[in-house]
Each structure stands twice: as structure tokens, then as C-alpha cells.
Amino acid sequence: MEVAQSGDQVAIANAAFSLSYNLKSGAWSATDLAAQTTVFTNARFTVDEIGWKKPAGATREWNQSEVSDDFGTGRTLTITETPGGGYAPVKSLHITVYDKQPFAALGFSVTNQRAFPMRVARIGVIDKASFLPGKKLTQPQVLRGGAGAQKNQVENLAAIDTHNNLLITGKLGDQRHSLVAGGLRYGEFLRRLVLDDKKNELTVTIEDPIGKPVPPGTTYSAADTVFLDIVTRDPFASLETYGLAMRTANKANPKSYDFPTLCGWLVSQGSYGEGRPINNSKDLVEQMELAAKSGLLEHTPVAIRLEPDFYCDRNYGDTQQGWWNDEMWSKYGSLTPPYETFAKFNGKLRELGGIPFTYIQTNMPSNDFALAHPEWMMGGDISRLHAEHRHHMPWV
């Protein structure tokens, strides 16, 4: 592990990679030492820059500190830029490299040196970097790490705009190269990652659409960090390293399970499944019978999820939600003969070797349920319920 300055360049490196910052230009680069490959150059570190010409005279200083945490020992290189004027804050880029890890952790802090409050919303830790300068990946592939209903599938191209994290992999000559980047520790910001194949630019930002207020004379040291692995060739190994690192950084302990679940709602949708209306107890029992006959249970348990999802736009706001009983689940088509109760449905699934699942919408009670039980509903004016929450201060 080494942090050293040579001329205008200050670099932090371990045995696998080097990250070098130019104190004169304010740009930084990343190099895979084993492959002797510059992965990106001219990366900017930006805080809410919107294209206006910045006043000249910015100064940049660096310092280093030792690190010892759950990832091992290492060092953090901190680059602090003080603007020569204008409205920009004092900003610091924190680059942490470990002795025995293949990745770096990128973080930031902002000091409001002005007499008025500031708000930071978009932090480019790698902003418009030149990706693989002078080289071009062959057989490129990318994988997004979207959440919700985004389709996280491998795409055979070298362009992507995604949230959370990304994988870029391909070949330079006969050697595979991969890059994995994404949110490491999470606190208050999302991550956005863009690979622009037309401009050959890579951008990784830490963002919040509202922004974080920074009062005058204070420093905001973000908990949010970014994972960056530029040296692991095997994309699967790099993704696994990333997932385990994110678990460690957030002290996550999810109650995971290691068997597949067939979701009645999902497979009933044409965009996700077969588009057949099988999200009911009778048809889902038949799906479990197919799983049992196929021999799948010899290799893994199988769960079946019946989702009572009759929504409030279809019957003047009346649904199963809140009632959560066999009568209402049957009324809206979730429980069907011969399994018109959850006891019968669950019993049959277990008899076949399956695991029954369901779900309820606690935040969307049925209109008739709310009218029948007003004492269980939130009452009164809630327009200022969160007015004093830290995310809404100062109040706008």
C-alpha cells in the first residue's frame, strides 16, 4: 500500500491497481497494474456543477489517513478542493484502498464556507471519465442492477444508464476485462451510473432529487460510498465480491431463503410470465402439482405465492385489504373451489411438498373496511406530519 506525490500527481495504490489524481487539473484516473491498462482517465469530481464557467483560482490539497475496518487495513487519500470564488462549496473526495481487497471505496464530504445555506444534490465521484482511452472492448456486455420492475438482464452492448450498480465486461485482445461499480454503503443518496458509448464516457454519481441541506459554517460528511472494482477479470467473481462487500458495509442480515417462489401475480402478467390468469388457489395448486411431477422437489423446495391483489380502482375502492378473511378473499377471486379457504389451500400445497406464501397490502385498506372501522384509520390533517423530519429541513 502506497500513497505518494510526483509533480502534480498524487496516487494511492495497492498491488492490484492505482488511482491517481492530478492536483493541477482536478482530474483523476484508474489503472489496472497487472494488465497495465488505463481503465479510465480525466474523471472529474463534481458537486452540482451545471455548466457555468467556474471562477479561476481553485486550490487542491491532499492528506492521507490509515484505515482499519471490516474490510481490513488500508489508507484513505483525501483530495480537498477550495474554490477561488463563486457559490461552490469546499469539496473533498475520499478514496479508500485496502491492502488485500480488489476494490476501492469512494466517498465525499462538503463544507459550506459561505454565510448562506447550501443544498447538495448531485455528486459526481467519477464524472465524464474517458473510458478505456485508445481502446475498445470487443464482445461488450453490460448488466444493470435496477430495483422494482426493471429488467436486470445482460445486454450485448457498451452503453447503459442505470441506478444502483452496473457490470461492464468484454475483451481487449484475448483477455477479458470487467468493471463493477455501484453503491457500497447507503445513507441518504441513490446511485446513478452511465456508460455513454458515443462519447466513450463513464459517469458515477451519488444523487438525491431533493438534496441535502448544509448550513453555513458546517461540514457534511456523507455516509454514502461507491464500490469500484477495475481488476477482477471474472464478472461473476466481481459481482459476488460486490454483493458481499455491500452486505458488510451496511451490516445487512436479510432473512433470505434458498428456494424458488412462483408468484401468482407475476406469472399472470404478459410482460413477466405467460399471461394466463392463474393467480387463484385452484390454478396455483395445479402449478404445484406440475412442479411435483417434474421431479423439481428432488433438488429444491418450492414455494407458491397467492397474491390477493384486487386493486381499489375496480370496485369503487372496495378490495380484500383490511378484511383479510376467507370470505373477502373468495369474493374477489383469490380463493376458488375446491380451495375456498386458506386452510384448504395451504394444506394441499403442503401435501404436495410445497411451501405456501401470500401477501397483504397494509398501506391500502379497502374503502368499505375503512368506513366500517374509522377508529383504525389515521385521522385528522396529516399534511404537516413530517414537516419536522430532518429530510424536510429547512421546510420549503
Give the domain CATH number at 225. Answer: 2.70.98.60
Asked if residue 271 and residue 165 are part of one domain, the reply reads no
Domain encompassing residue 365: 261-376
My answer on whether 105 and 225 are in the same domain is: yes
Give bridge partners of residue 67 from the DSSP assignment. 74
* CA distances (Å), origin 221, targets 1, 146, 381: 25, 26, 36
Give 358's strand partners: 306
pLDDT given for residue 85 in this prediction: 85
Q: What is the rounded average pLDDT of the residues 338-362?
A: 96
Please tell me whether residues 183 and 324 are part of one structural domain.
no
Please indicate, yes or no, if residue 266 is contained in any of the structural domains: yes
**343/219 same-domain check:** no
Cell numbers given for 133 = 482511452
| pLDDT tens track for 192-248 | 999 999 999 999 999 999 999 999 999 999 999 999 999 999 999 999 999 999 999
pLDDT of 362? 86
Which pLDDT band, with edges at 50, 70 and 90, does 392 fall under?
low
Torsion of CA 194, 200, 201, 202, to 10 degrees: 50
Position 395 confidence tier, pLDDT thresholds 50, 70, 90:
low
Tally of domains within the chain: 2
C-alpha to C-alpha distance for 162 and 208, rounded to whole angstroms: 15
* Same-domain status, 18 and 70: yes
Number of neighbouring beta carbons within 10 Å of residue 1: 15
DSSP state of 273: S
28 Cβ contact list (under 8 Å, min separation 6): 19, 20, 21, 22, 43, 45, 79, 93
Do residue 216 and residue 347 come from a single domain?
no
On whether both 230 and 266 belong to a single domain, the answer is no
Question: Which among 322, 316, 303, 311 has a CA at the least distance from the CA of 360?
Answer: 322
Which tens digits make up the pLDDT trace of 166-187?
999 999 999 999 999 999 999 9
- Whether 387 is in a domain gets the answer no
**pLDDT per residue over 235-293, tens digit each?**
999 999 999 999 999 999 988 889 999 999 999 988 888 889 999 999 999 999 999 99
Whether residue 33 lies inside any domain: the answer is yes
The answer to the question of residue 70 being in a domain is yes
Q: Pull the grid cell for residue 189.
A: 443518496
Share of the chain above pLDDT 90, in %: 83
The whole model's pTM is what? 0.78
Cell numbers 456508460 label which residue? 195
User: Distance (Å, rounded) from C-alpha 40 to C-alpha 130?
Assistant: 5
Cell numbers linked to 173? 485482445
Helix (H) / strand (E) element for 96: namely: strand 90-98
73-94 residue pLDDT tens:
999 999 999 999 888 999 999 9
Give the residue from 249, 279, 299 where a domain finishes.
249
Q: Tell me the per-residue pLDDT of 2-19, one tens digit each, with 9 for 90 and over.
A: 999 999 999 999 999 999
pLDDT for 388 equals 64
Would you state the pLDDT for residue 88?
Answer: 92
